[in-house]
Structure 1
């Protein structure tokens, strides 16, 4: 899969549990929306990611991608310590040059 560089960096860092590399993929004022919460800026995104890793131990593996008007939508198989694992989630990335400006994580639409 040929993901844009910051998106590939996000998934690679997540898989290695490398917080510094994951945070570096985001713009300074990036926004992440996940599980009904919104995190603003790298410090908040780092705190969110650490808490999620500690709680769920989740790992996301991209399985499909589609270009959007603002960036890319990636469907990823997410496995970890949570009911129903593994699940497929949609990661919608808005890019700003070589950085992630926004990430919205939610349910993937069922495939026909």
Structure 2
């Protein structure tokens, strides 16, 4: 059973399961920040390029199995399967929301 996720995160995860780049992007605020293993991507254009290469390109599908709240952040954990070395790898997504949009997403393995 999947954990209960706030709508923007649930929408992102559902779009990711379909490798739907446009659907994943709908969850992000226009000025969102995505932190991926220490690298910073700002705004839709940079985030889109990252997701196109590292998620859609590698068929990386994240399957959350745990969620908790830490201050303003929602922390979601679970494995990602795809066409990349070491698959599956367990990831932690630390997400801060701004209303119905993702303001920041930090991903670490």
TM-score, normalisation: structure 1: 0.89
Partners of 1:73 and 1:61 lie apart in 2 by 13
CA RMSD of aligned residues (A): 1.0
Partners of 2:73 and 2:8 lie apart in 1 by 11
The SS at the match of 1:62 is: coil
Structure 1 partner of 2:61:
59
**Which one is further off, 96-105 or 68-77?**
68-77
Given that 2:19 and 2:59 are in contact with CA atoms closer than 8 Å, whether structure 1 keeps it comes out as no
How big is the shift at 1:21?
Answer: 1.4
Gaps of 5+ in 1: 108-112
How big is the shift at 1:57?
Answer: 1.7
TM-score, normalisation: structure 2: 0.92
How big is the shift at 1:36?
Answer: 3.0
Structure 2 partner of 1:13:
15
Gaps of 5+ in 2: none
The number of aligned residues is 106
1:84-108 deviation digits (Å, cap 9, x = unpaired): 211111000001111000000002x
Q: What is the aligned counterpart of 2:36 among 25, 34, 41?
A: 34
